[in-house]
Amino acid sequence: MLYIGIDLGTSAVKLLLMDAKGSIRKIVSREYPLYFPHPGWSEQNPEDWYEQTIEGIRELLADTDKEQVAGISFGGQMHGLVILDENDRVIRPAILWNDGRSIKECEYLNGVIGMEKLTGYTANIAFAGFTAPKLLWVKENEPDNFSKICKIMLPKDYLAYRLTGVFCTDVSDASGMLLFDVRNRCWSKEMEEICGIREEQLARVYESYESVGTVTKEIADTLGLSPSVIVAAGAGDNAAAAVGTGTVGDGMCNISLGTSGTIFISSKNFGVDAHNGLHSFAHADGHYHLMGCMLSAASCNKWWMDEILNSSDYQGEQDKIPALGHNHVFFLPYLMGERSPHNDPNARGTFIGMTMDTTRADMTQAVLEGVAFALRDSLEIAKDLGIRIERTKICGGGAKSPLWRQMIADILNLKVDLIEVEEGPAYGGAILAAVANKEFESVEDAAEKLIRITATIEPDPETVDLYEERYQKFRRIYPGLKNIFKEIVR
């Protein structure tokens, strides 16, 4: 049988066709626009997601026996607010995960409601990217739109609704809304009251590997599929990527260098970081995970290359970097504000330490190092919780760079395992669809049988020592600039 994994990303939807042995038959990617109507805002049109997904599935299956397709599932950009009216029409453009407009609402939630209460209700505090602050923003700034809300969705769940007619979500994606009681895997009554919404406006919650239903007759006819094709609930992109890299079960780690960057630690037990620097979410394997998320990771390098250097030669620029651990330039990678661990929408990208002998290569190196240093900030919080991680898997577009992978190994002092299939959320989505179709006993069973490590990057002890000294300097830069960022932005 064949399984389709759909990765609904920020810039494009990636569709992957996988067979029951885990082999990838074909991959298709289709782009759609991203809108920035005001500074710090980020929006998309959900209809664009749907149209490009349908066209992408057609392309994906063009030369395939469609009767062999048994399941579909998702990995999707998290936290986005999609609201539908009573006629199932999208009320306004989706407000995305990297949108920073809800600063005031976060201050209300964290300051007036209180972080301790929020943590008790949801296991997390308010971040500008989360869904609940966005709802409060719509309530305050667009009351007419708020009054029309019949269904509140996350991005990938809009696709599931269009494909199946089922109003659903999964535990991992729901965890990032600040509306979900993560420990008990259900909606928080207290957060519903705080946000002025009713539970019937929220989707039914499934485990990521559970079937929510089958494709509608209309979708089956449109795509030439069997009406018995199962659609599994899927997962938020990071949880789906974790499934796709085998980061399931207890004490496993995955680093994602995508548009955003994450460090993801799976656990069979529920746990909360006392300082709320890490997110505590339900995992797609039926258990839990801790996650540190930075808003700009590989996108920092894309910005530097495309907008500043006007170069498409990514590898060529990295080849000019002379040696690791000796750079005198630092870069704060906060181009869209920052989440973990600072929770500061006002934070901004910053170069510091340039001199007359600073080179283009020094600054390119600083951008790559800055992302790795910021990921280490989250790793340090995990260490403070008593979690000991010695190795990690890695995925995302940035992970294709051998130099960046070595930086990750040296700066975080971790062994970095490379895997045979590096397709992240799309591959994880396909695996979840296979589990829903009973191809495997569990997500862990699927990961054990399908995920293969091909190489391991060892940290270099000498470079680790050099980077340890540089990291201790890096971690002091943001606190020194925090108040200045606030003045600059406001």
> What 3-state class would DSSP assign to 10?
coil
Q: How far, in Å, are 169, 297, 373 from residue 404 at the CA level?
A: 34, 11, 12
CA atoms of 333 and 288, how far apart (whole Å): 28
Cβ pair 130, 178 in contact under 8 A: yes
Enumerate the β-bridge partners of residue 202. Answer: 152
Residue 257: which of 99, 370, 382 has the closest Cα? Answer: 370
Using DSSP bridges, classify how beta strands 12-19 and 24-31 pair: parallel, antiparallel or unpaired. Answer: antiparallel
Count CA atoms within 13 Å of residue 122 on its CB side: 32
Cβ pair 165, 227 in contact under 8 A: no
Q: Is 18 annotated as a binding-site member?
A: no
Q: How far, in Å, are 367, 436, 456 from residue 233 at the CA level?
A: 36, 9, 33
Q: How many CB atoms lie within 10 A of CB 469?
A: 10
* Angle at the Cα of 383 from the Cα atoms of 381 and 389, rounded to 5 degrees: 125
Q: How many CB atoms lie within 10 A of CB 481?
A: 17
> What 3-state class would DSSP assign to 322?
coil
Cβ pair 153, 84 in contact under 8 A: yes
CA atoms of 131 and 9, how far apart (whole Å): 17
* Annotation says 237 is catalytic: yes
Could you say which of 7, 157, 170, 237 is catalytic? 237
150 contact partners, CB below 8 Å, separation of at least 6 = 84, 85, 86, 88, 201
As given in the structure block, the two tokens for residue 302 are 């894309």
CA atoms of 449 and 447, how far apart (whole Å): 5
Cβ pair 75, 234 in contact under 8 A: yes
CA 66 from chain centre, in angstroms, equals 30
The secondary element (H helix, E strand) that includes residue 211 is strand 211-214
Q: Is 79 annotated as a binding-site member?
A: yes
Q: How far, in Å, are 389, 417, 469 from residue 255 at the CA level?
A: 12, 10, 22
Residue type at 252? M
Q: How far, in Å, are 90, 159, 443 from residue 85 at the CA level?
A: 7, 16, 35
| Residues assigned a catalytic role | 237
Residues tagged in the binding site annotation for substrate: 78-79
